[in-house]
Structure 1
């Protein structure tokens, strides 16, 4: 008996955390595979065919945007010619961003694999500009515009409406709007009138993360913002984020970032 393994592809550039390129016509028919730790957005402006993702068959009628996550097993059969762009986004790009809106917008797209459009002229321009951009701040602005346009279209299509997904989105919206982010899942569960177990289940279903992991992403981003933009001491940052003491916060931060808060501040000075 031959053991079959799912192929894992890596189309990223080791030196880049984000990459945009024109769709490769030679890859209009692919075999089942996963991606090596990155999120992929495929803007299809012209083509039709089938996209198979985690066993689900989806009819493709351009224009549309495909969203493929690192754990998805997928392949497609697209008719030529295929006109569009492929955007590869590494997790580190989002984690290193001080703009929490990018994380929130990605969270809002959780659970979606296809967004249908009637007009992608704006997205075409954004993808084109991003493909030639090297400056990090401009890259973030263009990516945020792409994500915002996608969320807007998804909302117009009424695809974000299940109860558990709404619970997950409510959490991300609260985290994005709260002036103070606390390291306490139970606090946010109570705020959303649910239990920590229900909140955790919603996060697992629609983001493939526990509620603690979702919260951790926001906490680390907020910690980076406070360390970069303010003169607060590490102890003051720890207190603001709901940690009992500076030591616990420093260990938490180093596990996630690889640097102590003090060394992170020095590296960005």
Structure 2
């Protein structure tokens, strides 16, 4: 069965904040590729299916979807709340929040409805007003940290998976320039490639190869957005053999050339 892929975040867009649509029409199973999604509801009732698990909606509540996860809604009462779509690189200055993402359970309860949703309201207003990305990223960091605080109450992550994945992410952040294969990281960790892939799939529903590619792409986007380096210089910094290979890599991942991406990012 092929699932519809709903692309609600443009390639050059790193973050989007919106209100939950006030409708109760059931949605078909679909996935959102290439970005994370946090949903916070303070009204509504019904069911939310993520992968092969179905959760009852009892606000105030939160849901987390990793890149590529399949889900659908079946509301019996009109929902209200906020949906935050974001790419991991928006949290590049907040490594603790980045590392928390894979530890979020799919569903968790929210305790202090009032203060937390006031912060969400402010975040939404700042986004709609066109606040700069640095401010919005700081807001997101706070929400991820606070949301994770709530999620630990219902989190059931296998400690071994969490530890192995945390080690992999740490090694990846340290060595992604020179090491670009799953075999390299499995060797550093003293485990098989099969076990590394199983760990990554359990943590974030992706293979090690996909995460390595994602990390290189994240750095490429950061360099294109936040530096004046030309394409050849960026290709060299990321250890590509030449700029043409870098352009092919970038375009295959984003459908944009590096310069097209830079141009669009600079108009945001």
CA positional deviation for 1:85? 1.0
Q: 5+ unaligned residues in a row in structure 1: which ranges?
A: none
The 1:188–1:57 alpha-carbon spacing in structure 2 relative to 1, beyond 3 Å, is same
CA positional deviation for 1:193? 2.6
Q: 5+ unaligned residues in a row in structure 2: which ranges?
A: none
The 1:98–1:113 alpha-carbon spacing in structure 2 relative to 1, beyond 3 Å, is closer
CA-to-aligned-CA distance 1:124-178 (integer Å, 9 cap, x gap): 12321232222341333323322232233334545333423432333234444x2
Partner of 1:34: 30
Partner of 2:109: 116
Alignment equivalent of 1:128, drawn from 121, 124, 135: 121
The 1:266–1:192 alpha-carbon spacing in structure 2 relative to 1, beyond 3 Å, is same
Alignment equivalent of 1:56, drawn from 53, 57, 60: 53
CA contact 1:94–1:103 (8 Å) conserved in 2: no
CA positional deviation for 1:214? 0.9
CA positional deviation for 1:86? 2.9
- Number of residue pairs the alignment of both structures matches: 257
The 1:230–1:9 alpha-carbon spacing in structure 2 relative to 1, beyond 3 Å, is closer
CA positional deviation for 1:62? 3.0
Larger gyration radius, structure 1 or structure 2? 1
Matched, 1:225 2:222: yes
TM-score by length of 2: 0.71
TM-score by length of 1: 0.71
Partner of 2:142: 145
The 1:116–1:182 alpha-carbon spacing in structure 2 relative to 1, beyond 3 Å, is farther
CA positional deviation for 1:235? 4.9
Partner of 1:182: 178
